[in-house]
């Protein structure tokens, strides 16, 4: 049986799993796996830490993507080769609208394509749009758990610093082409910045896969540039949402 190149797994390893929960952070993948029945670690290679377990009797994969579009595209492509069809990203994010607070939950309907990787799957005129049913499952999950949420458009950037217009850096400089970009997204009603959803949504739409994205707000950029380091409580809430959404989708 053929192993996929980066994950080093073959189809049988996934025991028929059709749904993957895809956080950026490998440690988060390990923590999420503890909510599954009979979790096992299948692989820990580069940024890709892969766990398998059961949720309501269904096999579910947890696979970290690392930060950004290129590694996300590898994880999604190889999981798709192994039979996965539904991808639920659970991330962290920075809100850019004043009314969205730290600790809140954001569901991305679609993303502004500030990444590069998505252009390897479809031209820029193609939308980075989530799957309607997977996103509806995220909404239903929040309702089932009585968790407030915002739903809307996310700006998905290749970089954390210049691409999200952060000046609190080594050089303090943001290239002219990105100066004023945060204000532009705010005025266009964009909720937040993160770094993977544009690639995830574009490639999944283009490849006939389903994708949705939920994120916990670590920082409000209208008040603070860099997030605080401790975000355990925010993660617990967003993990609860993604696990409940997986159950909704699997039922
Ligand atoms: O917490 P994760 O899932 O990694 O998501 C966000 O956090 C990272 C940046 O700190 C980027 O990957 C961004 O999208
Ligand atoms: O501001 C933030 C916080 C988390 N992740 C991001 O990409 N940006």
At 200 the three-state DSSP class reads helix
Candidate from 68, 94, 167, 230 with most ligand 2 atoms within 8 A of CB, to mutate: 94
pLDDT at residue number 1: 67
Tell if the pTM clears 0.90, that is, is over it: yes
Q: Is the CB of 195 under 6 A from ligand 1?
A: yes
Q: Is the CB of 23 under 6 A from ligand 1?
A: yes
Domain boundaries in the chain?
Answer: 11-250
Q: Mind telling me the catalytic residues?
A: 6, 78, 166, 221
pLDDT at residue number 171: 97
pLDDT at residue number 77: 98
Candidate from 193, 195, 199 with most ligand 2 atoms within 8 A of CB, to mutate: 193
Q: Which two tokens stand for residue 59?
A: 């096999």
Please, which residues have CB within 8 angstroms of residue 160's CB and are 6 or more apart in sequence? Answer: 67, 166, 195
Residue 183: φ, ψ to 5°: -65, -40
Asked if 112 and 185 touch (Cβ cutoff 8 Å), the reply is: yes
Residue whose CA is closest, atom 7 of ligand 2? 194
CA nearest to 214, candidates 249, 185, 183: 249
ipTM above 0.95, yes or no: yes
For 11-250, give the CATH class.
Answer: alpha beta
pLDDT at residue number 230: 79
- Averages of pLDDT over runs of 10 residues in the chain (251 residues) are 94 98 98 98 98 98 98 98 98 98 98 98 98 98 98 98 97 98 98 98 98 98 91 94 98 88
Q: Is the CB of 108 under 6 A from ligand 1?
A: no
d(CA 115, CA 59): 31
Q: Is the CB of 94 under 6 A from ligand 2?
A: yes
**DSSP letter string over 63-109?**
E---SSHHHHHHHHHHHHHTT--EEEEEEEEEE-STTPPTT-EEEEE
pLDDT at residue number 188: 98
Asked if 108 and 154 touch (Cβ cutoff 8 Å), the reply is: yes
pLDDT at residue number 228: 86
> Tokens 């705010």, residue?
186
């Amino acid at each position: 049986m053929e192993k996929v190149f980066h994950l080093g797994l073959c189809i049988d390893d996934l025991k028929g799993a059709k749904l993957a929960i895809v956080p950026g952070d490998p440690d988060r993948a390990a923590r999420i796996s503890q909510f599954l029945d009979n979790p096992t670690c299948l692989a820990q290679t580069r940024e890709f830490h892969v766990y398998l377990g059961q949720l309501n009797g269904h096999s579910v994969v947890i696979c970290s993507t690392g930060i950004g579009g290129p590694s996300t595209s590898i994880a999604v492509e190889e999981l798709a080769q192994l039979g996965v069809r539904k991808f639920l990203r659970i991330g962290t994010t920075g809100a850019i609208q004043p009314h969205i607070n730290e600790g809140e939950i954001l569901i991305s309907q679609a993303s502004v394509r500030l990444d590069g990787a998505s252009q390897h799957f479809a031209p820029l005129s193609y939308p980075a749009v989530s799957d309607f049913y997977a996103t509806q499952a995220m909404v239903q999950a929040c309702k089932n758990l009585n968790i407030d949420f915002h739903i809307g458009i996310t700006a998905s950037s290749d970089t954390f610093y210049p691409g999200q217009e952060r000046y609190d850096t080594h050089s303090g400089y943001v290239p002219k082409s990105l100066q004023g970009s945060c204000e532009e997204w705010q005025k266009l009603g964009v909720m937040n910045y993160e770094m993977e959803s544009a690639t995830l949504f574009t490639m999944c739409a283009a490849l006939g896969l389903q994708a949705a994205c939920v994120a916990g707000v670590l920082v409000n950029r209208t008040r603070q540039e860099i997030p605080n380091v401790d975000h355990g409580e925010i993660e617990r809430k967003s993990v609860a949402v993604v696990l409940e959404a997986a159950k909704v989708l699997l039922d």
